[in-house]
A and B are shown apart, each in its own frame.
Chain A
């Protein structure tokens, strides 16, 4: 697969390379004059981000202190999607040094040969939380987040759903729409299997047939959301009375004053990853940057800035108890969560997507 573009793209790649070489020349001629001697000496690291309020948070929590400590400037880039990642690496014109991604990409990207192995003599992985697939040859975790059940308290008449059986087994007791994301790796397959009685430690490999059978029982009550903003809208105004959605968005709905509750029981914890593309222009700086983000101080800084949880447990030393309560992986979630198996998802996403599409049309 990594070779499939080669025969076809020869010409355009050459054209593209010439163009970017010209553009790069212009940049390298222009930059030193503009920037201070410190930044010039230590160089830079280009960080591809999801952007938005998250970018503002990592800028404050990570980029500014890192630049202060090392002199290395952090430049952000947008559109960190997998498609762009693959085309950059395959055309040999990589513009990114560190990329934040969903954890499935640490496997998909490695399989397609798009990733640079990380230098664990620079990055200290001993402090990182232990868990399946958390640290790989090509990736470190960034922060924790969860997919969990959120519900509209008004629509449910203050009845509290304790686990996923409320969604799948008790439409009469918990009336209203159930909002699931339109992509399969959104926690709703796991939730269906748990509601069907599968033990949490026997979830993976997921039985897709069994999960979809469970979905069929409530087919008329499911509405799909495409974006997380849409999920927040549905659960806030009661268009859906129950949903499986990211904890951060459910928390944002509560913060906005909407009648929304969160159930941490059976929450499915996952994380975001950071990887380095093969052929990254500032590889050494990328390793230094990743090493910095895996310190307890840096992990605490981002957790205090955004509601995602730290992947380095020592970070809790620098986080107040009130703050800890709203973070993924915080004390409120202990003993209640299940870790997502992202390696299984990376291998089965295509099949699961096809099956879900078939189910939707049947």
Chain B
């Protein structure tokens, strides 16, 4: 008996999690996919509607493009922060971690309303820029893609910084010392030694941000303008208002398949698995 338990220990330890996932995640997800093929006019009713009317493909495009832009901005802003988080003094680290995590713990609606107030034409940012004479008329910051990106980048930043920092912390300092001792100037050390070694972390973080952004709903709805419609808004409308669950399921399935495909690409070519500690 004890031999049996020992031999299958890892499986037994995982069993509760596997059962939980199977019952409450995998099965419902499969049901959702199944539901998307049940229409009045055959299995493809909902899918042909999605591809017949350009609006759905446009909304999908917009969702993916905005999410990609969020990921790129997170990399550009988050990379230096992650570097300081790894190389800074204990004090610097504590302050940075607090700054990164406070928005992470703040309610999303509160964040959105905060940005609405800060970014509006009479808000703090415009008032400041007008007062110091940088601009003459208020910038249209609120109610558009600028506000959406600000909100999304702020919310997603921890998902970029933490994997990148974890990757940076594992870098062997001796490699950089070797590069310097061989006469490479600092810029070259960074470009040819440090950056390539941190790239897997960057890719992992960026993909994580991108995939999570696709499901966003509240931020584009509140901070966005006329054109800022995300696919999640249409799914929600069909689930909760129109009660066309088959159609909502078809939209969800498209998002699911796209996300899985991107994840597979990430694992295969960009070592996305490294965020979960895979070598």
Chain A residues near B (Cβ < 8 Å)? 1, 4-5, 7-9, 11-12, 15, 81-83, 86, 108, 112, 182-183, 219, 222-224, 226-227, 229-230, 233, 237-239, 349-350, 353-354, 357-358, 360-361
Contact with A along B208-238 (1 / 0, CB 8 A): 0000000000100110011101000110011
Distance between Cα atoms of A226 and B229 in the complex (Å): 11
User: Can you name 9 extra interface pairs (CB under 8 A) apart from A4-B245, A82-B243, A361-B58?
Assistant: A8-B35, A11-B27, A12-B31, A83-B243, A108-B242, A224-B225, A233-B113, A239-B121, A349-B242
- Select which of B55, B222, B227, B243 is within 8 A of A108 by beta carbon: B243
B residues near A354, Cβ cutoff 8 Å: 53, 55
B157-193: CB near A (< 8 Å → 1, else 0) gives 0000000000000000000000000000000000000
Given contact pairs A357-B234, A360-B227, A361-B58, A12 touches B28 in the complex (Cβ within 8 A): yes
Q: How far is the CA of A350 from the CA of B241 in the complex (A)?
A: 9
Identity of the chain B residue whose Cβ is nearest the Cβ of A357 in the assembled complex: B55
A4-B35, A83-B239 known; A182+B221 contact, CB < 8 A: yes
Whether the pair A9, B31 counts as a contact (CB closer than 8 A) is yes
Closest to A359 in B: B226
B222 adjacent to A12 (CB under 8 Å): no
CB nearest to A86 among chain B residues: B243
Report whether B222 and A361 are in contact in the complex, using a CB–CB cutoff of 8 Å: no
CA distance A167 to B238 in the complex (A): 30
Indicate whether B259 reaches chain A with its CB closer than 8 angstroms. no
Q: How far is it, in angstroms, between the C-alpha of A239 and the C-alpha of B138 when the chains are bound?
A: 12
CB pair B229 A357 closer than 8 Å: yes
Name the residue among A8, A11, A15 with the largest chain B CB count within 10 angstroms: A8
Q: How far is the CA of A310 from the CA of B102 in the complex (A)?
A: 46
Pull 10 A–B residue pairs with CB atoms less than 8 Å apart, ordered by A: A4-B35, A4-B245, A4-B246, A8-B38, A83-B243, A233-B113, A233-B116, A357-B55, A360-B226, A361-B229
Q: Would A223 and B225 count as touching, CB distance under 8 A?
A: yes
* Least Cβ–Cβ distance between B127 and chain A, in angstroms: 13
With the chains together, A224 CA to B62 CA distance in Å? 18
Task: Tell whether B240 is near chain A: CB-to-CB under 8 Å.
Answer: yes
Minimal Cβ-Cβ distance residue in B for A12: B27
Interface string of B111-142 (1 = CB under 8 A from A): 00100110011100000000000000000001
Chain A hits for B59, CB < 8 A: 357, 361
CB-based nearest A residue for B222: A226
The smallest C-beta distance from B53 to any residue of chain A, in angstroms, reads: 7
Given contacts A86-B243, A223-B225, A360-B227, contact A8 B34 (CB under 8 A): yes
Name the one of B34, B120, B242 contacting A353, with C-beta atoms under 8 angstroms. Answer: B242
Residues of B within 8 A of A183 (CB): 237, 241
Contact in complex: B226, A349 (CB < 8 Å):
no
Residues of A within 8 A of B239 (CB): 83
On chain B, the residues within 8 Å of A349 by CB distance are 241-242
Residues on B close to A: CB < 8 A? 23, 27-28, 31, 34-35, 38, 53-55, 58-59, 62, 113, 116-117, 120-122, 142-143, 218, 221-222, 225-227, 229, 233-234, 237-246
Closest residue of chain A to B62 (Cβ to Cβ) is A361
A306 to B233, CA, bound (A): 31
User: Contact at A230–B229, with CB atoms within 8 Å?
Assistant: no
Are B244 and A81 in contact, CB atoms less than 8 angstroms apart?
A: no
Of chain A, the residue at the smallest CB distance from B30 is A8
In the complex the two chains form, is A360's CB within 8 Å of B229's CB? yes
Give chain B nearest CB distance to A264 CB in angstroms.
28
Evaluate contact between A361 and B242: CB separation under 8 angstroms: no
Partner of B240, one of A4, A83, A229: A83
Give the 7 A-B CB pairs with smallest separation, nearest first. A226-B221, A8-B31, A83-B240, A350-B242, A8-B34, A358-B55, A83-B239
Cα-based distance from A298 to B122 in the complex (angstroms): 45
Minimal beta-carbon separation of B253 from chain A (angstroms): 13
Name A81's closest neighbour in chain B (CB-CB).
B240
Alpha-carbon separation in the docked complex, A222 to B143 (Å): 10
B121 and A4 form a contact (CB under 8 A):
no
* B217 closest partner in A (C-beta): A226
Which of chain A's residues have a CB closer than 8 A to the CB of B241?
82, 183, 349, 353
Taken together as a complex, chains A and B put the C-alpha atoms of A308 and B38 apart, in Å, by 41
- Contact yes or no, A238 B229, CB < 8 A: no
Among residues of A, the one whose C-beta sits closest to the C-beta of B238 is: A350
| A198 vs B225: C-alpha distance when bound (angstroms) | 29
**A86 / chain B contacts, CB cutoff of 8 Å:** 243, 245
**Contact residues in B for A226 (Cβ distance below 8 Å):** 218, 221-222
A5 touches B35 (CB 8 A): yes
The CA of A294 and the CA of B113, in the complex, are separated in Å by 38
Q: Is there contact, CB below 8 Å, between B122 and A238?
A: yes
Chain B residues near A15 (CB, 8 Å)?
23
Closest to B221 in A: A226
> Which chain B residues border A237 with CB–CB below 8 Å?
117, 120, 122
Q: Which residue of B lies closest to A2 (CB)?
A: B243
* Docked pose: A238 CA to B243 CA in angstroms: 36
A179 shortest CB reach to chain B, Å? 10
Q: Which residues of A contact B121 (CB under 8 A)?
A: 239
A16 → B minimal CB distance (Å): 10
Measured in the bound complex, the distance between the Cα atoms of B124 and A237 in whole Å is 13
Residues on the A chain within 8 Å of B53, using CB: 354, 358
CB contact under 8 A between A223 and B23, given known A237-B122, A357-B234, A360-B227 = no
What is the bound-complex CA distance between A243 and B200, given in angstroms?
Answer: 49
Taking CB atoms, residues of chain B closer than 8 Å to A223 are 143, 225-226
